């Protein structure tokens, strides 16, 4: 390749609505894409180098040869992008070097899935630059492989949200990725101030389920029923039911041991101020809560969350999936 080419791609962050943890073990979840996006610019190089600037995660001018991708110590903030490029090159070949710059509209602390969104952006950019124009499903498979290579486990729900956008009914590994036609989702989101580590929490749940397999399998089954009822209620805009089911799902997550005092304080703050319901979103251990409240109670609910130390995050859901800018 003689000519320098450059492309900018963006993908949305995500919020898990219902079904976290159970979705790792063959049960469904519902996830929505949020309008805070990850943006990645990829420029082709004539040298066979890989250069990464990801200032949001403190990676600056990180360089290696394409042939060394995946080898040696990789800084945490560079892992997903580097392994994504390696996986693309292995599957489809790569005839040029790359300079990649990532930029996030949201803090990587929130748990909105900055790693999976940047993985998707990079793969989409390479797919276009190399003329392969991979289908959404092919992009999903490569991005999901990247997540599994790094984390060992995970459902792939975050990758699906980044690719397809909207609100999705999702089954482990992308066996089902069904868009749900929900025009509005009056969701309140608040950050706990604590950054959670997804892999640590998944491992914690896996230890518990090995100790009490029967109980935990029943629990996953109950979560699945909650997800299915919540999906139906959301499609019919029955927000009181959606809120109640958030409370039910939160109870199961509490039983899995992934909630925290801070998350509980915020969730009770919602309920005490007249909200319909609330739950943690994602792996637990910190990150965000989501809540549903009647219109006339929203201001009081927000105030009540802030009073216990939560930070309200203004965003809209159902955002568009990955796109070339
Ligand atoms: O913490 P997050 O937002 O990455 O969510 C993790 C959700 C899990 O179900 C625990 C893991 C997964 O990959 O589905």
242 close to ligand 1 (CB < 6 Angstrom)? no
Same domain, 194 and 103: no
Q: Which domain holds residue 45?
A: 6-182+319-324
- Does the residue 222 lie in any domain? yes
162's tokens: 């980044």
Among 115, 202, 253, which residue has the most ligand 1 atoms within 8 Å of its CB, making it the best to mutate?
A: 202
> Which residue has the least CA distance to atom 13 on ligand 1?
154
Mean pLDDT, rounded, for 225-250: 98
Question: What integer pLDDT is reported at residue 1 of this predicted model?
Answer: 44
Same domain, 157 and 253: no
Among 14, 20, 23, 145, which residue has the most ligand 1 atoms within 8 Å of its CB, making it the best to mutate?
A: 20
Mean pLDDT, rounded, for 202-213: 98
pLDDT band at 215 (very low <50, low <70, confident <90, very high): very high
Same domain, 31 and 130: yes
In the numeric block, the tokens 């629990």 are attached to 219
* Res 148 pLDDT > 80: yes
Residue 159 vs residue 4, higher pLDDT: 159
288 close to ligand 1 (CB < 6 Angstrom)? no
- 154 CA closest ligand 1 atom index: 13
- 22 CA closest ligand 1 atom index: 9
- 151 CA closest ligand 1 atom index: 13
Same domain, 172 and 38: yes
Question: What integer pLDDT is reported at residue 3 of this predicted model?
Answer: 57
Report the mean per-residue pLDDT for the chain.
Answer: 95
285 close to ligand 1 (CB < 6 Angstrom)? no
198 close to ligand 1 (CB < 6 Angstrom)? yes
Same domain, 173 and 251: no
- Does the residue 1 lie in any domain? no
Number of domains forming the structure of the chain: 2
Same domain, 286 and 201: yes
Confidence (pTM): 0.95
Same domain, 48 and 81: yes
- The three-point CA angle 61-154-35 to 5° equals 65
Tell me the pLDDT tens digit for each residue of 270-311. 999 999 999 999 999 999 999 999 999 999 999 999 999 999
Same domain, 139 and 34: yes
Same domain, 152 and 10: yes
Residues labelled catalytic? 158
The CA 320 to ligand 1 mean position distance, Å, reads: 20
DSSP secondary structure, 29-95, as one string? EEEEEEEEEEEEEEEEESSSEEEEEEGGGTEEEEEEEGGGTT-S---GGGHHHHHHHHHHHHHH---
Q: How far apart are CA 134 and CA 123, in angstroms?
A: 9
The CA 55 to ligand 1 mean position distance, Å, reads: 24
Mean pLDDT, rounded, for 222-243: 98
Same domain, 219 and 158: no
The CA 284 to ligand 1 mean position distance, Å, reads: 8
Same domain, 219 and 280: yes
Same domain, 153 and 194: no
- The three-point CA angle 51-104-316 to 5° equals 155
112's tokens: 């909105």
24 close to ligand 1 (CB < 6 Angstrom)? yes
* Res 110 pLDDT > 90: no
- Does the residue 103 lie in any domain? yes
Question: What integer pLDDT is reported at residue 2 of this predicted model?
Answer: 43
9 close to ligand 1 (CB < 6 Angstrom)? no
108 close to ligand 1 (CB < 6 Angstrom)? no
CATH of residue 49's domain is 3.30.230.10
What 3-state DSSP class applies to 294? coil
């Amino acid at each position: 390749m003689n000519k320098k080419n450059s492309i900018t791609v963006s993908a949305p962050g995500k919020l898990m609505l219902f079904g976290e943890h159970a979705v790792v073990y063959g049960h469904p979840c519902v996830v929505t894409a949020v309008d805070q996006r990850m943006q990645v610019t990829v420029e082709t190089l004539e040298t066979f180098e890989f250069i990464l600037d990801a200032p949001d995660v403190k990676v600056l001018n990180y360089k290696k040869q394409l042939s060394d991708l995946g080898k040696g110590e990789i800084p945490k903030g560079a892992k997903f992008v580097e392994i994504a490029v390696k996986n693309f090159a292995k599957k489809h070949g790569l005839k040029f070097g790359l300079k990649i710059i990532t930029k996030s509209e949201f803090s990587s602390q929130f748990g909105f899935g900055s790693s999976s969104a940047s993985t998707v952006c990079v793969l989409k950019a390479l797919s276009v630059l190399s003329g392969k124009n991979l289908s959404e499903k092919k992009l999903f498979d490569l991005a999901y492989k990247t997540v599994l290579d790094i984390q060992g486990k995970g459902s792939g729900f975050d990758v699906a949200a980044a690719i397809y956008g909207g609100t999705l009914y999702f089954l482990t590994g992308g066996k089902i990725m069904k868009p749900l036609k929900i025009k509005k989702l009056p969701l309140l989101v608040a950050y706990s101030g604590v950054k959670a580590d997804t892999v640590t929490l998944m491992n914690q749940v896996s230890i518990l389920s090995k100790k009490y397999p029967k109980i935990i399998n029943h629990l996953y089954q109950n979560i699945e029923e909650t997800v299915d009822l919540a999906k139906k209620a959301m499609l019919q805009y029955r927000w009181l039911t959606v809120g109640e089911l958030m409370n039910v799902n939160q109870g199961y997550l509490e039983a899995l041991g992934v909630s925290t005092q801070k998350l509980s304080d915020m969730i009770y703050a919602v309920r005490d101020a007249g909200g319909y319901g609330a739950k943690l979103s994602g792996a637990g251990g910190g990150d965000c809560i989501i809540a549903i409240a009647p219109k006339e109670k929203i201001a009081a609910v927000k105030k009540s969350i802030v009073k216990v130390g939560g930070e309200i995050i203004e965003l809209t859901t159902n955002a568009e999936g990955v796109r070339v800018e």
